[in-house]
Every structure is written in C-alpha cells, then in structure tokens.
Amino acid sequence: MRRYALAGLLLGLFVLAWQGVASLNAVDDLTLASPVETMRALRDDWSLLMDNAGVTLVEVLLGLAISIAAGAGSAVAMHIWRPLREAAYPLLVASQAIPIVVLAPIFVLAFDYGMGPKLAIVALICFFPITVNVLDGLRSVEPELLKLMRSLGASRLQSLVKVELPSALPFFFSGLRIAATVSVIGAVFGEWAGADEGLGRLVLLGNNQLQTPRVYAGIVILTVMAVALFALAGLAERLVCPWNRKEAPSA
C-alpha cells in the first residue's frame, strides 16, 4: 500500500508541475495542453475516445495473443532443436532492429487495411521479449535436475512438460510484462500507417489538426492502457506461479 502511496505522490507532483509549466505560458497552447484542458477534452470527447480506444485495445490483445503463441512455441522449438536455435536466433535479434516505422506501411500493403497489419506489427514487437525470455527460462533448468529426471526414467517429453516448462513460466511472465507495455506502441504505429479507426489514428490526426487537448487525452488513455496491461500480466504471474514469491523464508 505504501508503495502505491509514494507512486501516487510522485504522479501528483508531476501533474502539478505540468499544470505549472502550462500556466506559465512558457510553451504555447497548441504544443502543450494543461492537465485541466486535457481533463476537459477527456470529458467532452469521452465516447469518441472510448470507441477508438476499444478498437486499439482489440488490436493489442489479439496481437499479444498471437505473439504469445508464436513466441512460446518458437522458444520451445528452438530449445529442443539446437540447429534451429543457431539458425533462427540471429534472425530473431535482427527482426527487432528493423524500424517499425518502415515496416508498418509495408505490412499495410501486404495485408490490406483492416486489422491485419496492426496485428502483425503488435505481434512483431511483442514476439521478441517473449521468445527470448521463455528460451532463457527453458535453459535455466539446473543440469542436476535434468540428470535426476533421467535417473527417474523420464522421457524427453516428460522432462519438458514436468520440469522445463514450469521452470520457464516465471521467465515467460517477465517477457509478457515487457511485451504488454510495448504492445500499445505497436498498435499505434500500425494505425499510423493507415487506419480508419483507433486511438493512435485519433492522436495523429488530432496532432495534425492542432486539436492538442484531444491529443493529450488520447495519450493519457494509451498510457493507462499500457500500465493496465502491465499490471494484468503481473497479476497473472502471481496467480499462475504462486511458488515464485520472493518472500523471506521463515526460519
């Protein structure tokens, strides 16, 4: 509880400073909207913002789902077959180096407008942290434990299912937390390349049309979305991996 109180205090100070700078007119209205104006835009444009936020949220969730399936699957495959890992890992890393800004329009042309390109971009951004973390988790199993499984007569599949995959779960959730926060960015980039709906599009158009308070309101909602996803991932971890609590052991 105290942790949240401190964070809340810091947030409050930030908002005050923001309002202060805006009131001082150090930066003009159309570049910096004050918290008050942002709140007003949130209220006035609420249904517009929420409708578009819903579209973006769907893109994010579906994209995350794809990246989880593909990421975990690839990690397991790369773990089991070493040649695959050696071949694919560098490509995996390289895939992250390509600027999304460049890929987004290409995806749009490849997949046609609509959900396709946005899902592809979200999946591409989120795939990497999940794959790398699951792979690390699978490889983190102590050799002693694998030796024990062998001595117990376990098959490769049994070792994988009973020991390696559960070991990798906490790592998976680490990756998921990262993926959750960047997924929103991916959806926004996807929308910027061509979309008829979505909060990213609304923010972009708002910026071009000098509707600055609406832009800020949109950004606030996108931020809240990312933070909420992050928290959900953390919650999921606590539910699925209750043994991983890093509490001080009772003597």
Partner 1 sequence: MRTQAEAPEREPLSVDGTGVALTGVERGYRGRRREVVALSGLDLQVRAGDVVAVVGPSGCGKSTLLELAAGLQEPDEGAVVAMGTSDAAGRRTACAYMPQRDLLLPWRDSLGNAALALECQGVRNSEARRRAAPLFDRFGLADFEHARPADLSGGMRQRVAFMRALLPGRPVLLLDEPFGALDSITRASMQAWLAEALTEEPRTVLLVTHDVQEALFLSDRVAVLSPRPGRVVAELEVTLPRPRSRRAVVTDPEFGRLERLALEALGA
Partner 2 sequence: MTRPLLAALALLAVLVTTGCGEKKEVLEPKGSKQLELLLDFFPNADHAGIYAAQADGYFKQAGLNVKIRQPADPSAPLKQVAAGRVDLAISYEPEVLRARDKGLRVVAVGALVNKPLTSIISLPRAHVRRPADLKGKTVGTAGIDYQTAYLRTILVDAGVDPRTVKQRNVGFNLNPALLTKKVDATLGGYWNYEGTELRLQGRKPRIIPVNRAGVPSYDELVLVAGEEALHRDQAKIRAFIGALSRGARALRRNPDKGIQGLLEANPDLDPKLQRAAVKVTLPLFFPPEGKPFGYQDPEAWERFTGWMRDSKLLVKTASAKDAFTNELLPGSGLSGRGQCCSAAAPGSRLRAIAGSRRTAVRTRSRPGPDPAPPS
Residues that bind partner 1 (CB under 8 A): 142, 144-145, 147-155, 158, 162-163, 166, 169, 241, 243-244, 249-250
Give residues 202-241 in contact with partner 2 (rule: CB under 8 A). 204-205, 207-210
Nearest distance from C-beta of residue 176 to partner 1, angstroms: 18
From the list partner 1, partner 2, none, partner contacted by residue 158 (C-beta under 5 to 8 A by kind): partner 1
The answer to whether 73 touches 135, Cβ cutoff 8 Å, is no
Give residues 76-115 in contact with partner 2 (rule: CB under 8 A). 105, 108-109, 112-113
- Name residues whose C-beta falls within 8 Å of residue 63's C-beta, 6 or more positions apart in sequence: 118, 119, 120, 121, 122, 123, 126, 183, 186, 187
From the list partner 2, partner 1, none, partner contacted by residue 210 (C-beta under 5 to 8 A by kind): partner 2
> Which of 142, 144, 164, 167 is closest to 155 using CA atoms?
164
- For 250, left (φ over 0), alpha (ψ -120 to 50), or beta? beta
From the list partner 2, partner 1, none, partner contacted by residue 23 (C-beta under 5 to 8 A by kind): partner 2
Rounded-to-integer distance, Cα 251 and Cα 245, Å: 16
Nearest distance from C-beta of residue 212 to partner 2, angstroms: 9
Q: Which is nearer to partner 1, 94 or 248 (CB)?
A: 248
Helices (H) and strands (E) counted in the chain, each on its own, are: 11, 0
Lookup: tokens for 187: 């959806």
44: how many CB neighbours lie within 10 A of its CB?
13
> At which residue do the structure tokens 């606030």 appear?
220
Nearest distance from C-beta of residue 251 to partner 2, angstroms: 40
Binding site for partner 2 (CB under 8 A): 21, 23, 25-31, 105, 108-109, 112-113, 192-196, 201, 204-205, 207-210
